[in-house]
Amino acid sequence: MTGTARFGALILDLDGTLLDTAPDMAGALNRLRVEEGAAALPFEAVRPHVSSGAMALVRLGFGEPPPAAFERLRQRFLALYAERLSEGTSLFPGCAALLEALEARHVPWGIVTNKPEYLTRPLLARLGLLERAGCVIAGDTLPERKPHPRPLLHAAELLGRAPAGCVYVGDHARDIEAGRAAGMYTVAVRYGYTAPGEDPSDWRPDALVGAPEELLPLVAAAAA
């Protein structure tokens, strides 16, 4: 990574970047499939689609039913997920050390996700992260959501940093698109929920990392 000394804040996507939520998201989808008389899908078939959200997971599980049926399934999926929000979810290996390093060096960090607030905040609270984050921008915090840059610009404002002084890290093309539009340094992660056939380098991020600890040079540069 080049030019890292200008960075003063780290902003992270949630699902597939900071938190491994796939066990609980896949579990909710498979409970819904069983309710609907279908067999559970293999975890490996569900994991790559988690960052695309509830609508994508319902389509994965049920195709394209009529709009009313689709909405019923979507709402039921969200209800099932909310029931077991943090049963199998955890920080990705290396993320705990990353956050500790940021805090030890007084480098602010925050979260920008498209996950709705009613799921995001309780999940972060249960994992002891809500009070630690300098900001939490969810998918319905503002009228706009990623790939629109406004959630990221709002996060930078709350963290007290210029957008050009922030790094945004994500595992989806829309994360890199939003970060670029906000004027931030963008980092794509290879360990997240990349869909089959996708290559994060095609999103044109400023940097690629294969593990959270590879972000530690950014922390050292920001602290310097």
In a 10 Å sphere around its CB, with 0-12 CB exposed, 13-18 middle and 19+ buried, how is residue 175 labelled? buried
| pLDDT at residue 3 greater than cutoff 60 | no
In a 10 Å sphere around its CB, with 0-12 CB exposed, 13-18 middle and 19+ buried, how is residue 76 labelled? middle
- Per-residue pLDDT of 129-185, as tens digits, reads 999 999 999 999 999 999 999 999 999 999 999 999 999 999 999 999 999 999 999
CA dist list (Å): 102 to 38, 107, 222: 45, 5, 9
* 20 carries an active-site annotation: no
Task: Give the tokens for residue 212.
Answer: 């959270």
Annotated catalytic residue within 13, 24, 175, 206: 13
What mean pLDDT value characterizes the chain?
A: 94
Q: Is the dihedral of CA 199, 202, 203, 206 positive or negative?
A: positive
| pLDDT at residue 223 greater than cutoff 70 | no
- Per-residue pLDDT of 5-30, as tens digits, reads 468 899 999 999 999 999 999 999 99
